[in-house]
Amino acid sequence: MSQLPAPPSRQQLRLQSIAWALGAGLTALLLGLPLGLEAALRAGGCGLFYGLLAFHLQRVDPDDSHLQAGLVGAVCGIHSLGLPTIGPWPAGQGWPAALLAVAPTVMMGLIRAWLPLVGASLLLHLSLQLLRHRSRPVAPGDLSARRP
């Protein structure tokens, strides 16, 4: 009979949490650099918090993809609230015309703001899937296992 591995210690969990936070923060910072230093720093800060939240969400319920997607959306929304205003609302126009005037600028601003965070979350998710795939125990009759 095979024994289950011992659960990680609190110290190991703290180090993993910090590693996830730093990984997501640095990834978001690097992906945001082409958009400017201020955008990169904001994205890096939000990526740091995303990494912390993602680690703890992964410990609670690793198979809930809806929670993971919601976490990305929530952090992107928080990031968007901290952005400077993109431009003034056109005065003297009706709602449809004013909305058409500002919508492209707002959408491009949001895409530029969200892109580093979404990229960081995708890289974090893919690296986690790779780690899971590599650490999966292999049954003796498993034909899908790679042989050296």
Q: Is residue 23 part of a domain?
A: yes
Residues 29/116, Cβ–Cβ less than 8 Å: yes
Residues 52/17, Cβ–Cβ less than 8 Å: yes
Phi-psi region of 106 (alpha: psi -120 to 50; beta: other; left: phi over 0): alpha
Q: Is residue 22 part of a domain?
A: yes
- One digit per residue, the tens of pLDDT, for the chain of length 148 reads 557 777 888 888 888 889 988 998 999 899 889 888 888 888 888 888 888 888 888 787 777 777 877 887 788 777 777 776 666 778 888 888 888 888 888 788 778 778 888 888 888 888 888 877 776 665 555 555 444 4
Q: Is residue 146 part of a domain?
A: no
Centre a 10 Å sphere on the Cβ of residue 111 and count the other Cβ atoms it contains: 10
Q: What are the structure tokens assigned to 139, written together?
A: 């049954």
Residue 77, C-beta contacts closer than 8 angstroms, at least 6 positions apart: none
Residues 29/117, Cβ–Cβ less than 8 Å: no
Q: Is residue 141 part of a domain?
A: no
Nearest to 74 by CA among 118, 109, 39: 118
Q: Is residue 143 part of a domain?
A: no
Residue 123's domain spans which residues? 11-134
Q: pLDDT value at position 136?
A: 64
Residues 119/28, Cβ–Cβ less than 8 Å: yes
Domain count, the chain: 1
Residues 101/93, Cβ–Cβ less than 8 Å: yes
Tell me the C-alpha distance between 111 and 105, whole Å.
Answer: 10
Q: Is residue 55 part of a domain?
A: yes
